[in-house]
Amino acid sequence: MGSWLGDWAVVGGWLGVLTLAGLVLRPTLGVSATVTVTPGSLLASDVAVTLATVVPYVCYLALTESSARQATLGKRWAGLVVTALDGTAPSRSAVWLRNVVKALPWQLAHLGASRGILEVQEGWGLGLVVLSLVLAVLCAAPALVGGRGIHDRAAGTRVARVASRGTAP
């Protein structure tokens, strides 16, 4: 649980930067308070949110877990690493797959929430939010009881404790 809190602190910091940037830039961009939602503007909103939030999140996870340390900052603080099933370093493709699957609930929740906020495609929005919650449970619940979530099963990875290293006298 500590590793998740550490990683969500990183995400929260990034979202704080985006919020501050939005507050500073909005007046200079001339963004109207009222927007007419069209299929094109909804797609543009979906792409913008994905590029600003989900893509950096997946990159952070995948780049840190495929590094020599095999761990995000949160996992490092908690003494955890991502490994292949045999305990060796996972392949880069496995780490990317793991994290795309792991981020999918977050992306679906964004898509659902945007539809609710913009009051369009509300049935789809509700369905996307429910699906995101189901996938989030499939990722998180097994990990909370010592198992492997759907993201680890899909990628052939697992999270393990860092083997303690003896120190020289």
- In 10 A of CB 51, how many CB atoms? 10
Tokens of 127: 């369905």
Give 103-152 pLDDT, tens digit per residue: 999 999 999 998 988 888 989 999 999 999 998 888 888 877 778 999 99
pLDDT, residue 1, reads: 60
pLDDT, residue 168, reads: 45
Matching residue, tokens 């998740």: 4
pLDDT, residue 147, reads: 83
Label residues 71-108 b or e (16+ Cβ within 10 Å = b).
bbebbbebebbbbbeeeebbeeebbbbbbbbbbbbbbb
Is 163 exposed, middle or buried (CB count within 10 Å of its CB: 0-12, 13-18, 19+)? exposed
Q: What is the mean pLDDT of the chain?
A: 88
Q: Going residue by residue through the chain (169 aa), what tens digit of pLDDT does each one get?
A: 667 788 888 888 998 998 898 888 877 877 666 778 888 888 988 999 999 999 999 999 999 999 999 999 999 999 999 999 999 999 999 999 999 999 999 999 999 998 988 888 989 999 999 999 998 888 888 877 778 999 999 999 999 999 765 444 4
User: How many whole angstroms separate alpha carbon 34 and alpha carbon 156?
Assistant: 47
Provide the whole-model pTM: 0.82
pLDDT, residue 62, reads: 97
Domain ranges of the chain: 2-161
pLDDT, residue 40, reads: 87
